[in-house]
């Protein structure tokens, strides 16, 4: 299973991130797989991503469906700009086809329309792509029920693609900008993985990847997932440790569950629990004060979580979950014990 770091920052911040990852002095490389949305990054960011690709990183192109999800443009406005950009940038590893994300609050007829638009636009887009890019094309399965999922799968199997994405997790937040792993969506994702693997297609999960969810992602058999949680959390003063939730380290907070604070002493105890050690979190004062320290630390933590489950370190994983957040204490038994 691969973790793909979703990069949404400017070139100078990407370069700062690279420097801070190097400062951490860890074995794993959390920037070896990257996801960018080429229509919504600057030309300088795109050039930097190409340079990173030439240096050995795999770069996944996202379609911009997330920006449609947030209401920044209409779905129909994606098609031609995205196709033109893909044709002029044929160096990436994966090219996501246009997808229209159904929101949790959408009425059934709206979800139905979005699913059909996703499939019809993706099919046309695939046929217009250069033949050299078609093996790298990744359409996205969307929908809120199995009929929707089956419709997408049947059409994508007919196209003969080598990988598909799944993006219909629950949505929350003022602009429906946050994906959440509802039970229904998780069951549908597992079904997508099972069917796709039976047709020798790999599956990528979009926009889901807080460290505690790594057990679930591995347990349902997904081949890869992307996340920007490490960066968003850093912006709110929050940090994590392998397979643990985010906690606020920038100030003492007990006013909200999502912003729950953690003391330095507790954080040090959890470092021992998880076995995490990087030079970025040796100085907790700098971790508290500097967003880029937190971002690079969180990024490394997500990669370490994936490395841990990929190596099958069952005893260590079970111990972390059982002694971490109450919400996630049964994740090992619920997911990894079955996989």
Q: Are residues 203 and 328 in the same domain?
A: no
Q: Which of 233, 253, 269 is the last residue of a domain?
A: 233
What is the per-residue pLDDT for 198?
A: 98
Q: Are residues 247 and 180 in the same domain?
A: no
What is the per-residue pLDDT for 197?
A: 98
Q: Are residues 256 and 283 in the same domain?
A: yes
What is the per-residue pLDDT for 328?
A: 87
Q: Are residues 105 and 220 in the same domain?
A: yes
10 Å CB burial of residue 74 (0-12, 13-18, 19+) is exposed
> Whole-prediction pTM value?
0.92
Joined together, the tokens standing for residue 295 give: 């971002």
What is the per-residue pLDDT for 8?
A: 81
Q: Are residues 247 and 219 in the same domain?
A: no
Render pLDDT for 66-87 as a digit per residue (tens, 0 to 9): 788 777 788 888 999 999 999 9
What is the per-residue pLDDT for 1?
A: 96
10 Å CB burial of residue 334 (0-12, 13-18, 19+) is middle
What is the per-residue pLDDT for 251?
A: 64
> Which of helix, strand or coil describes residue 130?
coil
> Which of helix, strand or coil describes residue 300?
helix
What is the per-residue pLDDT for 180?
A: 55
Q: What angle do CA 100, 146, 204 make, to 5 degrees?
A: 55
Q: Are residues 70 and 132 in the same domain?
A: yes
What is the per-residue pLDDT for 254?
A: 47
Residue range 329-333: mean pLDDT, rounded: 85
Q: Is the pLDDT of residue 259 over 70?
A: no
Render pLDDT for 163-219 as a digit per residue (tens, 0 to 9): 999 987 754 444 444 445 677 888 999 999 999 999 999 999 998 878 999 999 999
Q: Are residues 152 and 178 in the same domain?
A: yes
Q: Are residues 326 and 198 in the same domain?
A: no
Q: Which of 208, 233, 258 is the last residue of a domain?
A: 233
Q: How confident is the model at residue 257 (pLDDT cuts 50, 70, 90)?
A: low
Distance CA 148, CA 169 (A): 14
Q: Which of 233, 252, 275 is the last residue of a domain?
A: 233
Domains of the chain: total: 2
- Average pLDDT of every residue of the chain: 90
Q: Are residues 217 and 244 in the same domain?
A: no
Q: Is the pLDDT of residue 111 over 60?
A: yes
Distance CA 204, CA 217 (A): 10
What is the per-residue pLDDT for 337?
A: 74
Distance CA 279, CA 24 (A): 5
Q: Is the pLDDT of residue 91 over 80?
A: yes
CATH of the domain at 81: 3.20.20.105
Q: Are residues 229 and 240 in the same domain?
A: no
Q: Are residues 179 and 252 in the same domain?
A: no
Q: Which domain holds residue 317?
A: 236-336
Residue range 281-304: mean pLDDT, rounded: 95
10 Å CB burial of residue 177 (0-12, 13-18, 19+) is middle
Q: Is the pLDDT of residue 338 over 80?
A: no
Q: Are residues 55 and 178 in the same domain?
A: yes
């Amino acid at each position: 299973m691969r973790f793909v770091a979703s990069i949404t920052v400017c070139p100078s911040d990407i370069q700062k991130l690279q420097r801070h990852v190097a400062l951490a002095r860890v074995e794993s490389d959390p920037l070896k797989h990257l996801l960018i949305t080429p229509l919504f990054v600057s030309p300088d960011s795109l050039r930097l991503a190409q340079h990173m690709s030439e240096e050995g990183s795999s770069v996944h192109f996202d379609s911009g469906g997330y920006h449609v999800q947030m209401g920044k443009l209409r779905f129909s406005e994606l098609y031609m700009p995205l196709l033109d950009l893909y044709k002029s940038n044929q160096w990436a590893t994966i090219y996501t086809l246009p997808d229209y994300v159904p929101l949790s609050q959408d009425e059934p007829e709206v979800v139905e329309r979005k699913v059909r638009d996703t499939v019809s636009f993706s099919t046309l887009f695939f046929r217009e792509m250069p033949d050299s890019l078609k093996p790298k094309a990744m359409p996205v399965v969307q929908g809120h029920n199995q009929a929707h999922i089956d419709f997408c799968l049947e059409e994508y199997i007919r196209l003969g693609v080598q990988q598909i994405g799944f993006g219909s997790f629950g949505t929350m937040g003022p602009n429906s900008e946050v994906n959440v792993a509802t039970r229904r969506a998780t069951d549908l994702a597992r079904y997508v993985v099972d069917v796709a693997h039976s047709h020798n297609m790999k599956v990528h999960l979009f926009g889901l990847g807080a460290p505690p969810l790594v057990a679930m992602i591995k347990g349902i058999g997904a081949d890869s997932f992307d996340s920007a949680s490490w960066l968003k959390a850093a912006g709110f003063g929050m940090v994590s440790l392998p397979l643990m939730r985010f906690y606020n380290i920038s100030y003492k907070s007990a006013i909200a569950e999502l912003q729950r604070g953690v003391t330095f002493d507790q954080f040090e105890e959890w470092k021992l629990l998880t076995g995490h050690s990087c030079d970025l979190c040796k100085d907790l004062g700098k971790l508290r004060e500097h967003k880029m320290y937190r971002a690079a630390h969180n990024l490394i933590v997500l990669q370490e979580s994936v490395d841990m489950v990929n190596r099958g370190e069952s005893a260590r994983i079970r111990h972390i979950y059982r002694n971490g957040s109450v919400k996630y204490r049964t994740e090992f038994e619920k997911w990894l014990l079955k996989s």
